[in-house]
Amino acid sequence: MKTSDFDYHLPPELIAQTPIEPRDQSRLMVLSRADGSIEHRHFFEIVELLHQGDVLVFNDSRVIPARLIGHKEGSEGKVELLLLRRLSPGLWETLARPGRRVNVGTRIEIAADGLWGEVLERGDGAIRVVHFSDEAVLERVGRVPLPPYIHLPLEDPERYQTVYSRVKGSVAAPTAGLHFTPELLQHLEEKGVQFAFVTLHVGLDTFSPVRVADPMDHPMHKEYGELRDSVSQQLNEAKAEGRRIICVGTTTVRVLEQGAIKGRGIEAFQGWTDLLILPGHHFHTLDGLITNFHLPRSTLLMLVAAFAGQGFIKQAYEEAIHLGYRFYSFGDAMLVL
């Protein structure tokens, strides 16, 4: 297996720059692992595809206003900081741009009301550990970050949040969940579909393509996750009763597989995970996956290929491109059963 096995060419015009309205009007490609068929639907039709007793597992992480714009003290040199991980009160691991200008001891003035940050440590590449003078101000002056391939401004920042987000901590949205509306969730609930919520704060690896030839050598950065006791009980009951567990997004898959890593069912956990899921991985938890169309050479694409089959996903992506599906964060969705 090579990283180049997960490469493909995407016409730039297929990168979705704005979200579909309403959310659930996006297209939905349905893949059947049982017979290798591909079906084309719309996302709101997912109600017809799920069964009473199925458990949909959502990531309830909420995107924080993690993008900060400032300048080096005593100069006009612009510096952008992306908050990645909170290490302790006021202390954050950040991604600095341009990194070459930001060294240990650099003081960055961020807001007119006196907020500043000081670089305490230098990490790999553009990673910097920064202490901020007033953490409470960060949320007020920060902006919700959008992926670098989205070039149009977002009129409503809430459109880059899922409707069920509640736990602050991500620097990018768990985008598979962006297709759900309150009305669609109500229809699913009325059908008897159960909901479960876990948390994984999306971090640096979303912005890090696999640059090594062998994806096994890719250094996954740690992301904070929680799988609560009540949720583990709910999921283990579903497995015991033969009901399907369907993950909404690759982040949710990683939480559940982390919880099942000891092979004793799905266990509750709270902490950091750097689980890398590649083809050949034996899945312990899920029976279905809702996901978007992902970047070439990304760990997200590799995870989907691990679940659906590498050849099947290659075929599906080729068909999606041919039919003009919209790709990436604001794009269309895929349901793998």
pLDDT digits (tens, 9 = 90+) for 24-82: 999 999 999 999 999 999 999 999 999 999 999 999 999 988 889 888 887 777 888 98
Lowest model confidence (mean pLDDT) among 8-12, 163-167, 204-208, 265-269: 204-208
Q: Phi then psi for 314, rounded to 5 degrees? A: -60, -45
Query: Model pTM?
Result: 0.89
Helix residue ranges, H only, 216-274: 229-240, 250-259
Integer Rg of the chain from CA: 20
Architecture of domain 3-63+154-336: 3-Layer(aba) Sandwich (3.40)
DSSP 143: B
Residue 4: pLDDT over 70: yes
From the number of C-beta atoms within 10 Å of its C-beta (0-12, 13-18, 19+), residue 216 rates as exposed
CATH code of the domain made up of 67-141: 2.40.10.240
Angle, helix 299-308 to helix 250-259, in steps of 10 degrees: 70
- CA torsion angle 170 173 175 178 (round to 10): 120
Q: What is the spatial distance between Cα 243 and Cα 150, in angstroms, rounded to a whole number?
A: 38
pLDDT of residue 301: 95
What is the residue extent of each domain of the chain?
3-63+154-336, 67-141
